[in-house]
Amino acid sequence: MPDPSRRSRAIYADEGDGWELLDRARAMIRAGRQVINLTLGEHEDPTPPRIVEALVAAARAGDTRYAPVQGTPALRAAVAARTAARTGAPCGPDQVAVTAGGQAALLYALLAVADAGETCVILDPHYATYPGTLRAAGLAVRTAPARPEAGFQPDLAALDAACRGARALLINTPNNPTGAVYDRAHLEGVAEICRRHDLWLISDEVYDGMAWTRPHLSPRGLPGMAERTLVIGSLSKSHAMTGWRLGWAAGPVAAVEVIRDVALNAAYGLPGFIQAAGLFALTEAGAEEAALTAAFRRRRDLAAEALAGARGLRLSPPDGGMYVMLDVRGAASGGGAFAEALLEAEGIAVMPGESFGAGAAGHVRVALTVPEAALVQALGRIRDFAARRAAA
Ligand code: PLP
């Protein structure tokens, strides 16, 4: 067999895909062990029934043929209205391309704005897929830190240096895994760096409805940024629709047109019945979205209470998102060692910080995705486990 391409082999050449611990937890579950899974950012709650009904009605009505590749006009109008409201800059339907989740939007956006061999900068820690997505697009990965002691806000001086000669910068606020919501001063710094180095900004805002301690601010709304920013959005987190694969990219018309060309050649668009249900979710299911996101705010507060004064681990309560990061350096040599030992001893699966970059070493990420009673119980066991290891 001829070799696969260097580009595809490079996707995970240096490291695994970051999900090895989840794979191990799944194997334990298959072998009959009880495991509490706090790894994936996936709601325990099912998709709200009214959204499912909208899909069934559309499919029954015959919306099962090829659908508009860029998205139906009605869905694009709904995404545009949401983007304008949440980013503070006007957005029209021709500025939106609907994609198979935020993940496809990330890849398509990178393919649309940067050429193979160019550099994209990401912050460390970062969402687990970012380096692989960049490499799949043929791009070189450069990182700049967002350190725990700075509340995981970007180090602007280091970012400025990293962006020299780059083509694009990819940021994520509210942030997965750190829970940071970037504040105005840092976002203004990011915007200035983008303008200075003439960069495209890919702004991943899939958690834009989950900011707790300060409002979510989109860099797209800052002066001179709408013309160089592509916002990535998704219904996965806001409407408990992870498996539906419905997301989008929104930005300047010329870039969105190229994203449509990429989307046409990748998947030829999304099923019409999924787009119809997505339209329903965005226009009719505001109450469901509010209830789903409020649950994470409550769980975040519960986690802070449950882990206050813990030995061997430290939680900085997150500003937003679906996760908490625990600094476990008092209980283990690294996040991976802690997560593996916790899975073995307690049957609780959490993500090693190292899955999200070297900047999260010594941490683990806990997804707040189980109901309150189960979460408090699991956190109590993590707390006791860390205390035992700290004392040993
Ligand atoms: N971006 C971030 C920061 C995420 O956490 C996720 C999923 O966890 C995604 C993008 C991709 O989401 P989806 O493809 O399900 O829309």
Q: Summarize pLDDT for 109-122 with one digit per residue, the tens.
A: 999 999 999 999 99
380 Cα to the center of ligand 1, angstroms: 28
206 Cα to the center of ligand 1, angstroms: 6
Give the pLDDT confidence score for residue 17 in this predicted structure: 65
Q: Count CB atoms within 10 A of the CB of residue 341.
A: 15
Q: Which residues contact 244 (CB under 8 A, 6 or more apart)?
A: 47, 235, 236, 274, 277, 278
Place of tokens 């450069």: 142
Contact 223, 238 (CB under 8 A): no
3-state DSSP helix/strand/coil % of the chain, to nearest 5: 45, 15, 40
Which residue type occupies 215?
Answer: P
**Phi and psi dihedrals of 96, rounded to 5?**
-125, 135
Place of tokens 């001086």: 157
Give the pLDDT confidence score for residue 19 in this predicted structure: 81
**Ligand 1 and 101: CB distance under 6 A:** yes
Q: What distances in angstroms separate CA 101 from CA 119, 227, 245, 320, 340, one per listed residue?
A: 24, 23, 4, 21, 30
Give the pLDDT confidence score for residue 41 in this predicted structure: 86
Residue 170, SS3? strand
43 Cα to the center of ligand 1, angstroms: 13
CA 104 – CA 235 distance, rounded (Å): 13
**Ligand 1 and 327: CB distance under 6 A:** no
**Ligand 1 and 247: CB distance under 6 A:** yes
Closest approach atom of ligand 1 to CA 40: 8
- CA torsion, points 154, 41, 274, 70, in degrees to nearest 10? 20
The residue nearest atom 8 of ligand 1, judged by CA position, is 41
Place of tokens 């860099």: 219
Q: List the chain residues with pLDDT less than 50.
A: none
Closest approach atom of ligand 1 to CA 204: 1
What pTM did the predictor assign?
0.96
Give the pLDDT confidence score for residue 45 in this predicted structure: 87
Contact 238, 250 (CB under 8 A): no
312 Cα to the center of ligand 1, angstroms: 30
CA 317 – CA 320 distance, rounded (Å): 9
**Ligand 1 and 103: CB distance under 6 A:** yes
Q: Which of 170, 203, 236 to mutate to test the pocket of ligand 1 (most atoms within 8 A of CB)?
A: 236
